[in-house]
Structure 1
Amino acid sequence: MAEQPAREGRLRPARRLTLTEDVYESIKTLVMDHILPPGERVNIDALARELDVSPTPVREALARLEADGLVHKRPLSGYTTTALLSRAEFDDLFDVRLLLEGATAGRAATHATAEERQRLGANAAMNIDVEAGDGYRRHAVFTALDAKFHDLIAEVAGSPLLRDSITRLHSHLHLHRLYFPVTGATDTNTEHQRIAAAIIAGDSQAATDAMQAHLTAARERHLPAFDRHLEEPPCG
């Protein structure tokens, strides 16, 4: 059985003024850092005691995490953390992203308004970086801003169906739970700026090409996960 990371220093009592959000972020951190290991049943009462809250905000947080794709609810057995992506699932995820997000970037180049292009440019200009610290909290801001950029492109593309399809992939959380390539932050910034520039210029083909190049590079940055994690013996 592989040694599990310690909870100490990662789990903290929830602040009362932001109870629901804080409980959600605390439990998400446990899942992302494998403190709650993949495939493990979630003990609601135990989490409530550790966070010093009632079970109600814990249940609310788990419902949000189910929407995120990080836990599953099974009849009569409660919540279980989802398994990590397999190599086949990883490849399938990127194949789908290349199709959907490439087309979405191209569509955004022809459908975005002047205000939306300005907003996209401002978002891409933000320097996404990895913060000091350990585990998921170290790259939580990066993850959020990275996801926001891709979500914004889906929004300005003007297709609710495309946007919903991309959102349902939950790709950022699944990938960063598997492995986070810290060295990729600078590359990601540069790639985002190229995509934004093509969309702002109204060049549909360039936007599609830039998005597909970004996703292809991101796939390569995540591949070490399968040397680093998938050869470890399973927990349990």
Structure 2
Amino acid sequence: MTVSTSSGPLQLDPPRLERRALRDSVYDLVLNMLLDGTFQPDDTLSIDGLSRELGVSPTPIREALVHLEHTGLVTRTALRGYRVAPPFSPQQIGQLVDARAVIELGALEHALDRRTSLAPTLQQAHELHRQVIDELAALPAEAMVGDARLAGYRRYFDADWGFHLTIMRHADNPFIVQMAESLGAHVHRLRQTVGVGLTDCEDASAEHARIVEAIISGAPARLVKQAMRDHLEAVRERSIADSRLIAKDRSKATKSSAKAVRDRSGVVSG
């Protein structure tokens, strides 16, 4: 394949493009397995095992795990290889939201210099987010199981994060976008609470709507930023609540499993 560039025609290697597509597909598959509970925190992720299970060579598996390491969903240690990272602690969630506030509020201030173009674009991003929520809500319960359920959740998360990226891209600073995308990788770890479902979609949509309304109405920058600050604070509170619910459920499951082992071995706890 030949592509025109400023320095002349560039010959692309089709197999290289195929490898990239395979790597991205494998990444999506492993990400889904991490989010749907196939793997539990601290589970070992064997490159050879995943290679056999997914029917691909070890190379795209290794590349996917390297990519996932950057999101914080997996960790790598010497002699132990890759493992599933534990979910964020409440303290870590607070730190992540603090980091988001530093970047997003600064980006919003710059983006408001381009309010004329920001307003309609952000309105579209909000409408897409709202559309995904409505479509998922309209699906029968039996349609939201397995891979279909996870695909729906990922559509929601992508639309939600897309709303925030729209603001940061309007800051007209490539370094802000770069920082946002790096931070967005860590937002994946908040999605480890996907097991509790989409508990906050209506709240998030309403908070986004208030931000859009403030921008469209010509509200002062301080009021627009306050709407964003309120939204991020609400995200913090909801995410911490979800993380505690997940931790409680896992604690119950661990105790239940330990009791089953004792019962099978005839050990009685006193």
Same fold (TM over 0.5): yes
Secondary structure in 2 aligned to 1:183? coil
Paired position in structure 2 for 1:133: 144
Q: Does 1:225 align with 2:242?
A: yes
Paired position in structure 1 for 2:226: 209
Paired position in structure 1 for 2:52: 49
**Cα shift readout 1:177-200 (whole Å, capped 9, x = no counterpart):** 135552321222222232233344
Q: TM-score, with normalisation over the residues of structure 2? A: 0.70
CA distance in 2, matches of 1:56, 1:217: 41
Paired position in structure 1 for 2:126: 124
Question: 1:181-192 counterparts in 2 under 5 A?
Answer: 182-192=198-208
RCO (CA 8 Å, sep 6+): is it higher in 1 or 2?
1
Secondary structure in 1 aligned to 2:232? helix
Letter in 1 for 2:170: V
User: What root-mean-square deviation, in Å, do the aligned CA atoms of Structure 1 and Structure 2 show?
Assistant: 2.8
How many residues end up aligned between the 2 structures? Answer: 220
Paired position in structure 2 for 1:193: 209
Q: Does 1:178 align with 2:179?
A: no
Identity percentage of aligned residues = 29
Contact 1:143 1:172 survives alignment (8 Å): no
Secondary structure in 2 aligned to 1:141? helix
CA distance in 2, matches of 1:142, 1:63: 25
Shift of 1:17: 11
CA distance in 2, matches of 1:181, 1:103: 31
**Cα shift readout 1:24-62 (whole Å, capped 9, x = no counterpart):** 111001111232222222101111111111112212222
Letter in 1 for 2:238: R
Structure 1 unmatched runs, 5+: 1-15
Q: Structure 1's 17 and 173: CA in aligned 2 closer, same or farther, altered over 3 A?
A: closer
Query: Which is richer in helix?
Result: 2
Q: Does 1:21 align with 2:36?
A: no
Flag the structure with larger Rg: 2
Question: 1:50-199 counterparts in 2 under 5 A?
Answer: 50-110=53-113, 112=114, 114-126=116-128, 127=130, 128-129=132-133, 130=136, 132-134=143-145, 136-169=150-183, 170-179=185-194, 182-199=198-215
Q: TM-score, with normalisation over the residues of structure 1? A: 0.79
